[in-house]
Structure 1
Amino acid sequence: MFLCRMKTILDVLMSFDEKLHLLYDKPEIDSIKYLAVSDVTGLSKAQLRAFTGNEITTPQAEKLTDIANQLQTGIPLQYILGHTEFYGLNFQVNPSVLIPRPETEELVEWIIQAAQERHQQEAILDIGTGSGCIPVKLKKHLPDAEVSAIDISPAALQTAKQNATLNGVDVAFIEADILNPVEISFPQYSILVSNPPYVTEREKAHMHVNVLNNEPHLALFVSDHDPLVFYRAIADFALQHLTSNGLLFFEINENLGQQMIDLLQDKNLKNIELRQDMRGKDRMIKAQKA
């Protein structure tokens, strides 16, 4: 009688390599496979590297095979697992929300630093919140701040509310369209932040297929003829609902840094600062209301 050999950690890691080599480059495959195997087995990346000969259970092997098969279709790992990490916190994610990116962590870090330097109680609004990663993290680090968030998508707001509960913070969520905000009476805020849609239609050709086919286009794309439509609307909103000396933060398209400076200057905002992300790309900007 022959018994099937139990799969080892090395077996499943190699299986990911074989199944994903046509979709991703090697560094991305390495990131994906270690994250997947770690999530299923509970072992750290260091343990996976050190004990590649260790066997895993049959249910674990079957689950990892299923994950690899789903990855082959282009579904992002974060959607398959149903969660991801953002700035040290765990967030639920699904196709109704964008998967949080590392550059957004840099934006949040900038906001936290600016708020801590001001030594005042802040009233913060995140516009287009998606998964809620920005307001939840801000509330976690700035517990005395009043933090609110809006989004046009009821499904996204439901996910954001779950993430606030998951991380034990109180954030007020509002369903609203920033392009038509007149139906809601908004108070004054000392900090506004937004990571709005900023990928132009012509840039679609350069995006990975797993993003195009799975992440919500409503949160990603703007038309080529008016790529700053959301920034203009939010800047106008800031003129009405940002307190004197209040701060406005944006994550931006790397190719539109100068255009963003011009837009904010045209709105008579001051102390405009453009920053690059960890990869040296123009990615975030801050302005202040006079």
Structure 2
Amino acid sequence: MAAQWSSGRLGNVAGKRIIVTGATNGVGLATARTLVGAGAQVVLAVRNTDLGAQRAREMGGSTEVVELDLADQASVRSFPDRLSGDGVDILINNAGGLSQRRSDTADGFETTLATNLLGPFALTNLLFPRIRSQIITVGSEAHKRTTLRLEDMHLRSEKWTVMGAYARSKLAVMLWGLELDRRLRAAGSPVTSQLTDPGWVSSNISNVADTPVLALAHRAIKTVGDRLANDIDQGAAPTLYCISEPIPPGSYVGVDGVMGLRGGPVLIGRSAQACDYDLASRVFAFAEKETGTSLAV
């Protein structure tokens, strides 16, 4: 039997400059920590810079902490100016989240969609002239459990639920990734793009509750997850796999466990809707209009 993938396959990535969004906790923290340990210069793009500085001290190595709130387009737009230096080898769009109730951001976007799609979309476009080799975006197998209505992307008419909004936002992310890869290949760009799914990870992502009932639900999910799910280092493996392995552009990397919930990183399939190039083009156009950004490839 072939040996399972391990982070040792990263080798020495000294000299690589890598941005990791959402690097203070969970999969983002594990991703950044592993990359720093392998010699990379890692930019921790985080909302809480005090916690980011603490994480950077704990990691040691070469790090930079830069504030970034993906739900706030003003923060996204100012990020490139606050980032030191000129070039970035790899952008890892890791940050994402759930919202405990339907709300709109200051930009008028549904919060889950803003955080998971529109923020990373604008960030990628704004940083693209500085990216040298790779864009890795964390999607989710949740994309297989929903459909999109382009006329109601912000769920102003359709019933809003926590997981429904999350699944729709991740399907939109998968379609953005499909069109991003197509555009990069069509232009002959040296930059590649991949999508990943960390599987079921025992992390804090389900902690979206400020009511006793939802807080209890989070504790129950976390308790089961601690026993059965991947830990955060295993959850980071699909992203790191994209860096270490010679996989095709546009690949979707998940885990090989039962129902895709737990296991080591492997290439996996996506839903039929997530392979729809026409829909992907329209999602891309929607995100361009909402954010006022475009990809200069």
Per the normalisation by structure 2, the TM-score is 0.41
Bigger radius of gyration: 1
Which structure: greater strand fraction?
1
By relative contact order (CA 8 Å, sep 6+), the higher-ranking structure is: 2
State TM-score, norm by structure 1: 0.42
